[in-house]
């Protein structure tokens, strides 16, 4: 995949969209690259807008808030939820989409076009670009070259900030609060970018972390250090049964096969964890099971009918959060 070695030009002022942009929220014209950009206050703003978006969708299906605006979806890696929820979000707000989501091999990337030139091209046609790319830091690189807002839809094993927002929104919607919760994170904590982003975002709250992973999939040190800096309580174990009775949120992830250089190592750890009805018997009556999806065996289908299985509601929330984010970076809310 071609990138460029040249230095990005300095970013000048953002091209403005619409006549009376909302400058108060602080999101207008901004890139969304990392959860470190968020505060409790601006999260509350986005969550409030997401609730309004849900009400609009349930009541009338769509709005023309973003009529006349264009989103470019540039996906160098496979996606079902992130790509389609962004497309649905833009469509339900009256905008249109350039969908480079079915494989960049059908774009000029296959001719060797660099990431900076690709984003420069797309921003000539679109008002905002969502990018997913296998390299950590790629969304920031795109943002360095683009004048229009770039939204990180997942950069390698780095971050997935919009997923973390929808995860946090789901926790709040399901359990009514975030402070005081005990959160278990299970599975691929090393490569799982959703875990990295959610753990960082949860550092804004008063939570207890319980990490469950084999040695080779433990949480990266930089994320752990951020938690330690906040003096939040942390436990680490290999065995999910040790924590299941104590947690309010059980967040399990797929082992990310595509990030392993040694597939034999992947085979050793791929089936270590599974949420089953038997395990759920030990869990609290009021708790939730979450998964960013796709699942490949980590949650038994028999758990789907358990009211504590929140992963499909979590997935739906992604569209409302992405509607809110698009409206925010385009200066409408």
**Annotated active-site positions, please?**
81-82, 111, 132, 160
Q: Strand, coil or helix: what is 129?
A: strand
Taking the complex as a whole, the smallest distance from the CB of residue 203 to ligand CP amounts, in Å, to 21
- Contact between 280 and ligand CP by CB under 6 A: the answer reads no
Distance between CA atoms of 70 and 102, rounded to whole angstroms?
18
Minimum gap (Å) between residue 158 Cβ and ligand CP: 13
Number of residues that bind ligand CP (CB under 6 A): 9
Q: Are strands 150-155 and 128-133 parallel, antiparallel or unpaired?
A: parallel
d(Cα 170, Cα 110) in Å, to the nearest integer? 38
CB of residue 82 to ligand CP, shortest distance in Å = 3
Query: Is position 152 an interface residue for ligand CP (rule: CB under 6 A)?
Result: no
Instruction: Return the residue of 34, 63, 79, 256 that touches ligand CP, per CB under 6 A.
Output: 79
Single out the segment in contact with ligand CP by CB under 6 A; choices: 73-81, 97-105, 270-278, 324-332. 73-81
The reply on whether position 163 binds ligand CP by CB under 6 A is yes
Return the residue of 17, 25, 34, 81 that touches ligand CP, per CB under 6 A.
Answer: 81
Burial (Cβ within 10 Å: 0-12, 13-18, ≥19) of residue 24: exposed
> 65 or 249, CB closer to ligand CP?
249
Q: Which of 160, 76, 73 is nearest to 115 (CA)?
A: 76
Q: Report the residue from 80, 102, 177, 276 that binds ligand CP according to the rule CB under 6 A.
A: 80
Rounded to whole angstroms, the Cα distance separating 130 from 163 reads 13
Q: How far apart are CA 188 and CA 219, in angstroms?
A: 8
From the list 86-94, 106-114, 195-203, 286-294, the region that binds ligand CP by CB under 6 A is 286-294
Which listed range, 57-65, 79-87, 94-102, 274-282, lies at the site for ligand CP (CB under 6 A)?
79-87
**Cα angle: 67, vertex 22, 18; to 5 degrees:** 35
Q: With CB under 6 A as the contact rule, which of the stretches 61-69, 143-151, 219-227, 287-295 interacts with ligand CP?
A: 287-295
The least distance separating ligand CP from the CB of residue 326, rounded to whole angstroms, comes to 16
DSSP for residue 275: B
Binders of ligand CP among residues 290 to 329 (CB under 6 A) are: 292-294
Contact between residue 162 and residue 321 where contact means Cβ atoms under 8 Å apart: yes
CA distance linking residue 132 with residue 19, whole number of Å: 30
Tokens standing for 43?
Answer: 């999260």
Binding site for ligand CP (CB under 6 A): 79-82, 154, 163, 292-294
């Amino acid at each position: 995949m071609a990138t460029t070695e040249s230095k990005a030009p300095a970013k000048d002022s953002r091209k403005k969209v619409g006549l009376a942009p909302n400058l108060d929220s602080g999101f207008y014209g901004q890139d969304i690259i990392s959860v470190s950009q968020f505060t409790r206050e601006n999260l509350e703003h986005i969550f409030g807008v997401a609730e309004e978006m849900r009400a609009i969708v349930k009541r009338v299906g769509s709005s023309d808030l973003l009529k006349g605006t264009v989103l470019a979806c540039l996906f160098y890696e496979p996606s079902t939820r992130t790509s389609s929820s962004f497309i649905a979000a833009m469509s339900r707000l009256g905008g249109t989409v350039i969908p480079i989501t079915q494989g960049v091999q059908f774009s000029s990337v296959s001719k060797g076009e660099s990431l900076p030139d690709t984003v420069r091209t797309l921003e000539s046609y679109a008002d905002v670009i969502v990018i997913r790319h296998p390299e950590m830091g790629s969304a920031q690189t795109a943002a360095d070259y683009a004048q229009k807002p770039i939204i990180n839809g997942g950069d390698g094993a780095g971050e997935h900030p919009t997923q973390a927002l929808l995860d946090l929104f789901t926790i709040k919607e399901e359990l009514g609060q975030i402070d005081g919760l005990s959160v278990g994170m299970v599975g691929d904590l090393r490569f799982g970018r959703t875990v990295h982003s959610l753990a960082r975002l949860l550092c804004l709250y008063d939570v207890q972390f319980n990490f469950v992973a084999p040695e080779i999939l433990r949480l990266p040190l930089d994320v752990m250090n951020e938690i330690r800096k906040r003096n939040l309580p942390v436990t680490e174990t290999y065995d999910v049964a040790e924590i299941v009775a104590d947690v309010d949120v059980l967040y399990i992830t797929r082992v990310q096969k595509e990030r392993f250089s040694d597939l034999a190592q992947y085979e050793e750890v791929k089936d270590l964890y599974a949420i089953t009805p038997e395990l759920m018997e030990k869990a609290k009556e009021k708790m939730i099971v979450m998964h960013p999806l796709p699942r490949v065996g980590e949650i038994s289908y028999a758990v789907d009918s358990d009211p504590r299985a929140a992963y499909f509601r979590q997935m739906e929330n992604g569209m409302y959060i992405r509607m809110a984010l698009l409206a925010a970076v385009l200066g409408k809310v």
